[in-house]
Structure 1
């Protein structure tokens, strides 16, 4: 089984960290390939970055020319593009935001999300609402750290623990890492907090594996039908595109 994991930003070092976490979670026989957008923001923080990132990730997948893959994991917490990618490719698409939330709901009555900057709260809340899991979210709490600040492990852990206490005070019984760049942090903070901490990258990889093994993929009835045939111009690609987007490996 091959899973493609897309970073939501152009920072390759972050892609490498995400892929490391994904490979750690993946079962025997699963190959993980990381993809980094060729254009877009170096870190996704705010609505503008998020929409730009969504277009860049879809462009990345439509022009993909690598080995065929069985599932896509979108490694951008609270970022846009999930629904568009499901129209674009013919394999299961699992977003780390909803994957983490769904698993958290199996572990406790209410969960809390600890993320980066406070400005990301609105996007995350909207994404959880769209995924149907917002009702169980006790709080989304920011650490005050930017995405590119997460490389400082000691600072990140301290900020996470402080924010986690706020989430627990709001009623959270389970915590979710609210950024793909936090992958791996669950192993250290979980013990210190004495509560389950869900990493979205690991959760998405395991759910993607399960969908492939069960022979399930995105429904083409209703919302996620194939894109309507029409001319589409992608940025500098003046040639435009037809109804069937070129690029993504389609497994049938």
Structure 2
């Protein structure tokens, strides 16, 4: 089995981080690689950056399809381009926010999301509503640390303190870490705050692996059917689809 973790930003250190986090939970015999786009923002902390990250994400899915990749994990908590990626891929495509929220709901009745900047809180809340966790997600908190500063001295302490406040003030009995760049901090934070702390990269990898094992993939008809062939122009000319990219499974 070949699972590809796609970091939708262009920062190599984060790509390496999510790759390591995914490999820790991969089953024996499962190949996990981590890639990043050839174009796009260095980090994703706004709607603008999220939109500009999607072409690079789809580029990596298309390359993975040519290489026979079995499943993909989109390693950004905004789950950018998730529906579009599912239209392109033969196998499962898992967003880390969706995966983390599902897993948190399995180990606790109420969870809080602890994310990076306050400006991203509304996106996390929007995803919780979309995925059916409006009641289970009791709060979305921000530690006000930029994505690319999560490895700076003091970042882990600030994040841990915010997670502790989520437990004490929100009544959360599970925590969802709201950024792929937090993956390496998950175990240490859980030890301190005393409730399950869910990293979406690990959760997404395990779910992708499980769906491949079950033989489940996006449907060849309906909303996730292949996009219809049509001309593209300008900077997007290379994304033109000339024929159906997925055929029905026998």
Deviates more, 1:235-244 or 1:192-201: 235-244
1:237–1:148 CA distance, 2 compared to 1 (3 A):
same
Deviates more, 1:14-23 or 1:230-239: 230-239
Aligned-pair CA distance for 1:66? 6.4
CA distance in 1, matches of 2:55, 2:130: 19
Greater helix share, 1 or 2? 2
* 1:60 counterpart SS class: helix
1:239–1:90 CA distance, 2 compared to 1 (3 A):
closer
8 Å Cα contact 2:138/2:170 also seen in 1:
yes
CA distance in 1, matches of 2:160, 2:239: 50
The aligned residue for residue 3 of structure 2 is 3
8 Å Cα contact 2:9/2:41 also seen in 1:
yes
The aligned residue for residue 86 of structure 2 is 86
Contiguous gaps of at least 5 residues in structure 1: none
Aligned-pair CA distance for 1:124? 1.4
The aligned residue for residue 135 of structure 2 is 135
* 2:74 counterpart SS class: strand
* 1:226 counterpart SS class: coil
1:110–1:235 CA distance, 2 compared to 1 (3 A):
same
The aligned residue for residue 190 of structure 1 is 190
8 Å Cα contact 2:113/2:141 also seen in 1:
yes
The aligned residue for residue 150 of structure 2 is 150
CA distance in 2, matches of 1:239, 1:171: 46
8 Å Cα contact 1:138/1:167 also seen in 2:
no
* 1:145 counterpart SS class: coil
Q: Deviations over 1:196-234 (max 9, x none)?
A: 001100001111111011111112342212112212347
The aligned residue for residue 202 of structure 1 is 202
CA distance in 2, matches of 1:74, 1:238: 21
Deviates more, 1:63-72 or 1:96-105: 63-72
* 1:106 counterpart SS class: helix
TM-score using structure 2 length: 0.92
Contiguous gaps of at least 5 residues in structure 2: none
Q: Does 1:112 align with 2:131?
A: no
1:63–1:27 CA distance, 2 compared to 1 (3 A):
closer
Aligned-pair CA distance for 1:136? 1.0
CA distance in 2, matches of 1:43, 1:21: 18
Deviates more, 1:119-128 or 1:195-204: 119-128
Q: How many residue pairs end up in the alignment?
A: 248
The aligned residue for residue 26 of structure 1 is 26
Q: Deviations over 1:58-88 (max 9, x none)?
A: 1222244763211011101024211110011
8 Å Cα contact 2:230/2:240 also seen in 1:
no
Q: Deviations over 1:23-74 (max 9, x none)?
A: 0111111111111111110000010011111222012222447632110111
The aligned residue for residue 121 of structure 1 is 121
CA distance in 2, matches of 1:36, 1:23: 16
8 Å Cα contact 1:75/1:201 also seen in 2:
yes
